[in-house]
């Protein structure tokens, strides 16, 4: 939020904190935080006056190898590639590769898969009513077949998902315009 207007003493305030309405010119702070036990390091930007979090994003790497970009997290191999869950995870890995080739990194989806497995991640997203950012992005580019929601609806995964989960995925895809 910017407040490039004059305050009561006539001086420009610049950007202001949405939490305490104080100028961020002297109180903007950023810290790198790594979760206990490891994980992705986050860059947290916040107001030093009140603690309001303004931004939280994966920390960027520096140097020639990273060129300021965070390395792509790979989808973990499934515990057993022969099970339906393992096959679904391999298919999601393929989808993510195709999505990345279009210029989008579905990092939240990858992190969920690596934490819960692909089928577990899909169930959690459906149960929590959370839509991946990739879904509308892909639909807007006429690529709904690359969405998680489309894949959940494929007949080969019928044993992994309930009718309710499959219906919810179809509804989400329809709402996204796919």
Instruction: Tell me how far apart the alpha carbons of residues 2 and 125 are, in angstroms, rounded to a whole number.
Output: 34
5 contact partners, CB below 8 Å, separation of at least 6:
12, 13
Name residues whose C-beta falls within 8 Å of residue 33's C-beta, 6 or more positions apart in sequence: 41, 42, 44
Q: Give the residue extent of every domain in the chain.
A: 2-58, 84-175
- CA separation (Å) from 57 to 53, 69, 173? 11, 12, 27
Number of CB atoms found within 10 A of residue 169's CB: 23
Per-residue model confidence as pLDDT tens for the chain (178 residues): 444 444 444 445 678 888 888 888 878 877 777 777 777 777 777 788 888 887 777 776 544 444 455 568 899 999 999 999 999 999 999 999 999 999 899 989 999 999 999 999 999 999 999 989 999 999 999 999 999 999 999 999 999 999 999 999 999 999 998 6
């Amino acid at each position: 939020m910017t407040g490039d207007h004059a305050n009561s003493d006539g001086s420009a305030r610049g950007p202001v904190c949405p939490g305490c309405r104080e100028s961020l010119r002297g109180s903007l702070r950023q810290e790198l935080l790594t979760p206990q036990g490891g994980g992705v390091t986050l860059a947290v930007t916040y107001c030093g006056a009140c603690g309001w979090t303004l931004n939280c994003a994966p920390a960027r790497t520096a140097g020639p190898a990273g060129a300021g970009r965070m390395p792509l997290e790979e989808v973990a191999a499934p515990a057993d590639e022969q099970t339906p869950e393992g096959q679904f995870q391999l298919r999601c890995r393929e989808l993510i590769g195709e999505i990345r080739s279009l210029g989008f990194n579905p990092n939240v989806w990858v992190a969920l898969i690596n934490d819960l497995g692909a089928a577990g991640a899909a169930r959690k997203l459906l149960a929590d009513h959370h839509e991946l950012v990739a879904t509308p992005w892909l639909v807007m580019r006429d690529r709904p077949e690359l969405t998680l929601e489309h894949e959940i609806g494929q007949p080969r995964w019928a044993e992994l998902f309930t009718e309710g989960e499959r219906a919810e995925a179809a509804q989400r895809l329809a709402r996204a315009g796919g």
